Structures are given as structure tokens and as C-alpha cells.
């Protein structure tokens, strides 16, 4: 029994013929991929046409492409050419998964892009903090400003910096906004472990 279980394929699949809304005659594949011991599946849709293959990594789009139009009544269709082309599509999907995965494995790629207004606000707080602010609060505020906030929060900081030209007063306004909005220091996601084939 153990030999039979160990002999099971790492991949399996099926095929179906689906008419596209645009009438294009393309062969495409959806792959559900397990990466190492990661507990979530990764999906890729690969469209093999006459030009460069198209790769889609959006999970919902992939699942939509894999959903049979007629549900379980959709007939299974997988001719020899489609079967053979699946191996080329798999290589494309695999390479895309490795590239995107390893991009997320690089900590530098996960660091936030800090907007100019927040970098300026952080520098003002660092250099012109109110006298009654303790160093821990200043450091925490600077860490809090090193984050990718939505535009509405950026506008709030722009307005606070525009109220006065006095940097100490600007720092006071920035600290007040951080407290009022309950903003916290940004924690970058943990990078994924790097993978190869």
C-alpha cells in the first residue's frame, strides 16, 4: 500500500472545450500548484496563443477560467496536442511562480514605499520634536510614519504640515494626528523562503 501511495502522481488534470466570448481559438491551462510546505495553493492561468503566452496569477480569475460553463455536465476534452502543450504551459507557470515567490522572498521588496509627505513628517518629528515628548514616543512616531498609508491619511498630514511654518508646531500636529488616528508602526510581512525548481 505504501508503494502505491508513494507512486501516485504529483499532478493530475483534466480538460474541457469552452467557447470564448470573443470567439478566439486559444488553448489555455489552469494550474493549482503546491509550493514546498506552504499551506495555501498557488494558481496560474496560462493562455497559449500564436504570440507570447499570457500568464495570470489572480486566484479568482484562475478559478473562473477553470470553472466549466455547464458545471459537471461539461464533457471532458483533452486531445493529444492539448495534452502535449500542457507541459510547455506548465514550464511557463512554474517559472512564473518561482519568480513571483522569490520576489516575495527578498526582504527589500517587502519594505514599504514611504510617500514624500510622510518622509518629511518623520524628519520634522525627528529633528523638531516638542520638548515634552520623550524619545521613545518620538522613535515610535517616526516608525509609524514609515508606512504606505492611503491618500486620505496623506492629505491629513499634508494639511497638518501646511498649517504653520514652525517645524516644532508641525511636529506637534503630526504627533496629534498619529494619536487621534491610532496609527501604529508598520510591520513588514515576513519574507517567504527562497525556492528553486
Give the pLDDT confidence of 92-106 residue by residue, as tens digits: 999 999 999 999 999
Domain boundaries, the chain: 2-109, 116-181
- Identify the pLDDT of residue 27: 87
The grid coordinates listed for 117 are: 509627505
Residue 29: name the closest of 96, 110, 127 by CA. 96
Task: Please report the pLDDT score of residue 8 as a whole number.
Answer: 56
DSSP 5-56: HHTS-S-----B----TT----EEEEEEE--TT-SS-EEEEEEE-SSSPEEE
Largest pairwise CA distance in the chain: 78
Question: For residue range 45-86, what is the model confidence (pLDDT) as tens digits?
Answer: 999 877 899 999 999 999 998 888 778 788 888 889 888 999
Say if pTM beats, i.e. exceeds, 0.85.
no
Q: What are phi and psi of 149, to 5 degrees?
A: -85, 160
For range 27-45, the mean pLDDT: 89
Quote the distance between the C-alpha of residue 74 and its chain's center: 33
Judge whether 43 and 31 are in contact, CB under 8 Å: yes
Neighbours of 75 (CB within 10 A): 9
Helix and strand counts by DSSP (H, E) for the chain: 8, 3
| Backbone CA torsion sign across 125, 130, 133, 135 | positive
- The total of other beta-carbon atoms located within 10 Å of residue 41's CB is 12
Amino acid at each position: 500500500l505504501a508503494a502505491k501511495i508513494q507512486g501516485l502522481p504529483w499532478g493530475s488534470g483534466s480538460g474541457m472545450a469552452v467557447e470564448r466570448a470573443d470567439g478566439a481559438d486559444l488553448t489555455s491551462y489552469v494550474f493549482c500548484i503546491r509550493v514546498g510546505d506552504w499551506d495555501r495553493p498557488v494558481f496560474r492561468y496560462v493562455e497559449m496563443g500564436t504570440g507570447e503566452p499570457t500568464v495570470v496569477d489572480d486566484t479568482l480569475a484562475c478559478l473562473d477560467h477553470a470553472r466549466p460553463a455547464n458545471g459537471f455536465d461539461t464533457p471532458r476534452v483533452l486531445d493529444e496536442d492539448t495534452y502535449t502543450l500542457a507541459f510547455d504551459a506548465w514550464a511557463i507557470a512554474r517559472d512564473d511562480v518561482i519568480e513571483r515567490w522569490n520576489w516575495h522572498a527578498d526582504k527589500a521588496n517587502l519594505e514599504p514605499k514611504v510617500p514624500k509627505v510622510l518622509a518629511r513628517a518623520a524628519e520634522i518629528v525627528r529633528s523638531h520634536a516638542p520638548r515634552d515628548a520623550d524619545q521613545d514616543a518620538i522613535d515610535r512616531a517616526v516608525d509609524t510614519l514609515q508606512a504606505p498609508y492611503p491618500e486620505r491619511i496623506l492629505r491629513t498630514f499634508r494639511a497638518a504640515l501646511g498649517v504653520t511654518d514652525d517645524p516644532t508646531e508641525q511636529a506637534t500636529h503630526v504627533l496629534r494626528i498619529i494619536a487621534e488616528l491610532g496609527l501604529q508602526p508598520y510591520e513588514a510581512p515576513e519574507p517567504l523562503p527562497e525556492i528553486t525548481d
